[in-house]
């Protein structure tokens, strides 16, 4: 089966989500919170004046990473990257910032995940190994954002499906996932069902099922996963 | 600096530290090396006190920032949300040396504010049904599950601000604001490390992020 | 004024009014004739709609301000805290024409904020044991009685600000701030009456009281 | 029995409370919220740089009423009086303002009352007559302020005691009263008891008991009610 290198897979995933955000923001402003890592890359591909990035550490209107030598050490995003301001940005305390998230004002969040199951449950905060003790804002984001986008490789490093029947790892949020984008496919959760809407041009449906442990429905209008 | 502006609330860092005692619950502000009271924390880590409950977003790195308190054996309990940057936390927890209460960052922020504004507890959907909801009351509102998060209050808050005026009104710098205005409301004793003290009336009254009613002690950043 | 600065969110007052319909729950800001959206309220009182739930501190005076809505028979229910300035409220309530829910002003403010930040309900000691606690859950925390106040949300919020920037960031003038930033968070549709629109980037990012994420429609004060 | 005219009674009451606030603020700042009417007059007699007035409609550092012609119609206190700023004052929203009150940050509030009973319960928000529907911030203030001062005439317009065994009117807050000052006496609630600490020089203890329906204890150090 077709294998995509890690970097190309990431770019395909974030470009696809970026395109969706540009479509969503054609008519109205879109407020987005991007998780640490791959999700942050979505910002690089969004070409729209109507998309505004929020950082849960207290900023609306996050700009690109600061140029070397021009960093302000106190101006960071939630991933601790030294960032810049955009025109019209605002600062506020953490309760107001999470108020935006938890109050349903953030239109979309993009996060990675260890596992997503066919019920729309997501596990992304901890692998119980005794070495990690951290949740950050993950549970607030999945519970609060209007739409939760999962950006992740289709399989884990051992080649096992990350889309599963039932999450084995501790859950971050129940039934909160709206869209999953991997290098192979785009799924949407609709009325309790996981629906395959787009499939990568390089693979067949049977191949996709081989690497997907979650049960899913195939959309009547199955499309090609294009950037 | 000659004859800098002073304030009735201004104390030396040693005077400020003398107000903190063993067993205290201490709120400490900051997120990712921004907005944390670095000098207060450094001084605290050298005090001969123990059994502290440290309530903070994270615990720095091993031996660094708040991490130094854990290394020095001063910590009894941690309440916060992200300790992955300091593996000593999980080690100490697994060894039964400290207690750790993980609270999702939004519930943590809102819980601190709640303590400051007289709210005893509130219902949030965050973490409902998850491992972090253990021991918390659950209730449905409009068909959705919520859990009861209690207020997070403290004896002392150590916070950091860009500037204070002589009364103790505080303003912050960009994302260094984070938990500071919340923690300023939620402790019996609030000690603020400030970069500069300016005359009262300097700040635009529309732009004061922490009114002086919430601030007890000022320490000038050295 | 020639060629004033515009905004994607700017609408005429008529366009804004067309977004409000019979049966809506409407938050309206202001306290004692300060910070209320006078022109939006005047326009609302002339709309051919009814069965409104008006959520506001008070209801102006008979026939004046929000009072005009009651006089015009547009009100089904009031949620607020002080109607002593408008005796028509008690009259209409006693006559069974409208429903009135009195909420202490602090619980009212906190309840609106709660709706805005995703809190379903919270425990407050205010009003515990009093007539205004009827029907509310009661619970003790640390030996003190608290009652459960639910979040107060709405379909529409009509607010007032001194200035907006082109994005919809808002700043207020002195005590005209009052409920405005809270109500901006608590409704599906937020319409702000503003005195002036300035280019984005004009306001100090530390001093924006209502970030534009909370604002849907701007109407320029005439 | 000695009768005091209404204006003189008010001035005696507010001067006594003002003196207490000046004593309380000798060592530390004092944050005070004054109710509408007589309580507002306390401010006129407080000579201290350490006393700060808070208005629940969103201001800390309220100054005197504005001079005629210099009013800002949007700058008002909770009694709708057009006021002025003091140096270092701050504005904030109503939730933050009531957060100060409800969170126990306001040292003292001064309010009027219809009735106070010997349990420290206060009734001051409504006389059920079908004509009033308003509570304002009364319940928040009595529940939240560290100390609740009642400033009121000793008897009502019919000459009946306002200090009663048990409030007949709807209660604003239970057991919340700390100090009651009338033209005849100063009482403090201590360990569940109402203690007479000061009595007006013009009346006897028996006369005071005649116009007081609440049971009270007389302090061992009974003093004279002086302004």
Question: Would residue D227 count as lying in a domain?
Answer: no
Residues 6+ positions from D142 with CB-CB distance below 8 Å:
D109, D111, D122, D148, D172, D173, D176, D177
Indicate which of B122, B126, B181 best probes the interface with C, i.e. most C CBs within 10 Å of its own CB: B122
Pair type for strands D30-34 and C187-198: unpaired
Question: Would residue A205 count as lying in a domain?
Answer: yes
C53 φ, ψ to 5°? -105, 115
C212 and A104 within 8 Å at the Cβ level: the answer is no
pLDDT 10s digits, B164-184: 999 999 999 999 999 999 999
Sort out which chain D residues have CB atoms less than 8 A from B211's CB and list them. 60, 90, 92, 100
Distances (CA, A) of A29 to A50, A103, C215: 5, 17, 11
Alpha-carbon distance A120 to A192, whole Å? 8
Pair type for strands A51-55 and B52-56: unpaired
Of the candidates A20, A56, A115, A197, the residue annotated as catalytic is A56
Strand order in the sheet with D217-224: D83-91, D59-65, D51-55, D30-34, D108-111, D147-151, D179-181, D185-190, D193-199, D217-224
Note whether C2 contacts B: Cβ–Cβ < 8 A: no
Alpha-carbon distance A110 to B92, whole Å? 33
Closest listed residue to residue D127, CA positions, set C95, C84, C61: C84
Which pLDDT score is estimated for C142? 95
* Percent with pLDDT over 70 in chain B: 99
| Helices and strands (H, E) in chain C, number of each type | 6, 11
Question: Would residue A226 count as lying in a domain?
Answer: no
Task: Evaluate whether C191 touches C40 at the Cβ level (below 8 Å).
Answer: yes
Note whether B93 contacts C: Cβ–Cβ < 8 A: no
Which pLDDT score is estimated for D205? 98
Task: Evaluate whether C32 touches D80 at the Cβ level (below 8 Å).
Answer: yes
Q: Interior CA angle at C149 toward C146 and C152, to 5°?
A: 165
Which pLDDT score is estimated for D130? 86
Which pLDDT score is estimated for B154? 98
Residue A183 designated active-site = no
Instruction: Tally Cβ neighbours within 10 Å of residue B173.
Output: 18
Please provide the DSSP assignment of chain D as one string. Answer: -----HHHHHHHHHHHHHHHHHHHTTTS-EEEEE-SSGGGGHHHH---TTEEEEETTTEEEEEEEPPTT---TT-B-TT--BEEEEEEEEE--HHHHHHHHHTT---EEEE--SEEETTS-EE-S---SSS--B-TTHHHHHHHSSEEEEE--SB-TTS-BSEESS--SPPSBSS---EEE-SSEEEEEETTEEEEEEE-TTS-HHHHHHT--S--EEEEEEEE---
pLDDT 10s digits, A74-100: 999 999 999 999 999 999 999 999 999
Task: Evaluate whether A171 touches A135 at the Cβ level (below 8 Å).
Answer: no
Q: Classify B198 as helix, strand or coil.
A: strand
Residues 6+ positions from C55 with CB-CB distance below 8 Å:
C25, C26, C27, C28, C78, C79, C80, C112, C152, C154
Q: Classify B221 as helix, strand or coil.
A: coil
Note whether B195 contacts A: Cβ–Cβ < 8 A: no
How many Å lie between the alpha carbon of C92 and the closest alpha carbon of chain B? Answer: 31
- CB pairs < 8 Å spanning B and D: 57
Q: Along the 227 residues of chain D, how does pLDDT read in single tens digits?
A: 899 999 999 999 999 999 999 999 998 999 999 999 999 999 999 999 999 999 999 999 999 999 999 999 999 999 999 999 999 999 999 999 999 999 999 999 999 999 999 999 999 999 998 889 999 999 999 999 999 999 999 999 999 999 999 999 999 999 999 999 999 999 999 999 999 999 999 999 999 999 999 999 999 999 999 87
Which pLDDT score is estimated for D227? 72
Note whether B208 contacts D: Cβ–Cβ < 8 A: yes
Instruction: Tally Cβ neighbours within 10 Å of residue A202.
Output: 13
Q: Supply the CATH number for residue A207's domain.
A: 3.40.1080.10
Which pLDDT score is estimated for A226? 85
Which pLDDT score is estimated for C4? 80
B99 φ, ψ to 5°? -100, 145
Can you say whether the dihedral through the CA atoms of B200, B205, B207, B210 is positive or negative?
Answer: positive
Sort out which chain B residues have CB atoms less than 8 A from A132's CB and list them. 84, 90
Residues in chain C, overall count: 222
pLDDT exceeds cutoff 60 at A219 = yes
Instruction: Tally Cβ neighbours within 10 Å of residue C15.
Output: 12
Q: Which residues of chain C fall below pLDDT 50? A: none
Which pLDDT score is estimated for D226? 85
Task: Evaluate whether C39 touches C11 at the Cβ level (below 8 Å).
Answer: no
Alpha-carbon distance B80 to A154, whole Å? 32
Note whether A52 contacts C: Cβ–Cβ < 8 A: yes
Task: Evaluate whether D78 touches D36 at the Cβ level (below 8 Å).
Answer: yes
Which pLDDT score is estimated for C2? 53
Using the structure block, give the residue that is written with the tokens 């995003």. A77
Task: Evaluate whether A111 touches A36 at the Cβ level (below 8 Å).
Answer: no
C123 and B120 within 8 Å at the Cβ level: the answer is yes
User: Which residue from C117, C167, C169 is facing A102, i.e. has the nearest CB?
Assistant: C117
Largest CA distance in chain C: 64
Note whether C3 contacts B: Cβ–Cβ < 8 A: no
Which chains contact A through at least 3 pairs of Cβ atoms less than 8 Å apart?
B, C
How many Å lie between the alpha carbon of B159 and the closest alpha carbon of chain D? Answer: 18
pLDDT exceeds cutoff 90 at B4 = no
User: Which residue from A98, A131, A139 is facing B90, i.e. has the nearest CB?
Assistant: A131
Task: Evaluate whether C22 touches C48 at the Cβ level (below 8 Å).
Answer: no
Alpha-carbon distance A137 to A173, whole Å? 12
- Range of D168's domain? 6-221
Domains of chain B, with CATH numbers?
Answer: 13-103+152-220 (3.40.1080.10)
Number of domain units in chain A: 1
Closest listed residue to residue A53, CA positions, set A93, A19, A21, A27: A21
Question: Would residue A22 count as lying in a domain?
Answer: yes
pLDDT 10s digits, B96-122: 999 999 999 999 999 999 999 999 999
Chains B and A are touching, with contact defined as 3 or more CB–CB pairs separated by less than 8 Å: yes
Question: Would residue D160 count as lying in a domain?
Answer: yes
**CA-only gyration radius of chain B, Å:** 18
From first CA to last CA, the distance across chain A in angstroms is 20
- For the record, the structure tokens of B72 come out as 């020095």
Task: Evaluate whether A215 touches A118 at the Cβ level (below 8 Å).
Answer: yes
Pair type for strands A115-117 and A122-123: antiparallel
Alpha-carbon distance D5 to C53, whole Å? 46
Pair type for strands C187-198 and C154-165: parallel
Q: Interior CA angle at C140 toward C139 and C144, to 5°?
A: 130
């Amino acid at each position: 089966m077709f294998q995509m290198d890690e970097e190309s897979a990431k770019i395909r995933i974030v470009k696809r989500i970026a395109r969706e955000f540009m479509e969503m923001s054609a008519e109205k402003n879109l407020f987005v919170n991007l998780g640490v890592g791959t999700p942050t890359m979505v910002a690089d591909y969004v070409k729209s004046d109507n998309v505004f990035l929020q950082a849960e550490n207290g900023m609306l209107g996050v700009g690109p990473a600061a140029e070397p030598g021009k960093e302000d050490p106190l101006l960071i995003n939630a991933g601790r990257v030294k960032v810049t301001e955009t025109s019209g940005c605002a600062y506020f305390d953490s309760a107001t910032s999470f108020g935006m998230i938890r109050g349903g004002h953030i239109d979309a969040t993009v996060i990675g995940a260890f596992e997503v199951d066919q019920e729309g449950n997501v596990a992304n905060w901890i692998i119980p190994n005794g070495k990690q003790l951290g949740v950050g804002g993950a549970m607030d984001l999945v519970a609060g954002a209007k739409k939760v986008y999962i950006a992740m490789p289709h399989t884990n490093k051992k080649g096992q499906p990350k889309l599963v029947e039932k999450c084995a790892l501790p859950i971050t949020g129940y039934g909160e996932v709206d869209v999953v984008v991997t290098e192979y496919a785009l799924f949407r959760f609709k009325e309790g069902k996981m629906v395959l809407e787009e499939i990568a041009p390089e693979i067949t449906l049977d191949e996709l099922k081989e690497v997907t442990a979650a049960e899913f429905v195939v959309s009547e209008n199955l499309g090609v996963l294009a950037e | 600096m000659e004859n800098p502006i002073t304030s009735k609330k201004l104390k030396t860092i040693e005077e400020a530290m003398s107000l903190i005692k063993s067993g205290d619950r201490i709120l400490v502000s900051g997120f990712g090396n921004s907005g944390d009271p670095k000098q207060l924390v450094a001084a605290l880590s050298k005090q001969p006190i123990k059994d502290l409950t440290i309530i903070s977003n994270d615990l720095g790195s091993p031996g660094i920032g708040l991490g130094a308190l854990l290394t020095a054996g001063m910590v009894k309990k941690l309440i916060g949300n992200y300790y992955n940057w300091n593996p000593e936390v999980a080690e100490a927890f697994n060894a039964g040396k400290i207690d750790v209460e993980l609270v999702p960052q939004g519930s943590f922020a809102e819980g601190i504010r709640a303590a400051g504004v007289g709210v005893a507890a509130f219902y949030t959907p965050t973490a409902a049904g998850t491992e972090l909801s253990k021991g918390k009351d659950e209730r449905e509102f409009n068909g959705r599950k919520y859990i009861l998060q209690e207020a997070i209050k403290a004896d002392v808050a150590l916070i950091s601000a860009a500037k204070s005026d002589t009364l103790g009104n505080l303003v912050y710098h960009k994302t260094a604001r984070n938990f500071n205005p919340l923690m300023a409301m939620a402790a019996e004793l609030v000690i603020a490390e400030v970069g500069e003290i300016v005359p009262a009336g300097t700040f635009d009254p529309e732009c004061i992020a922490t009114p002086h009613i919430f601030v007890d002690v000022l320490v000038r950043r050295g």
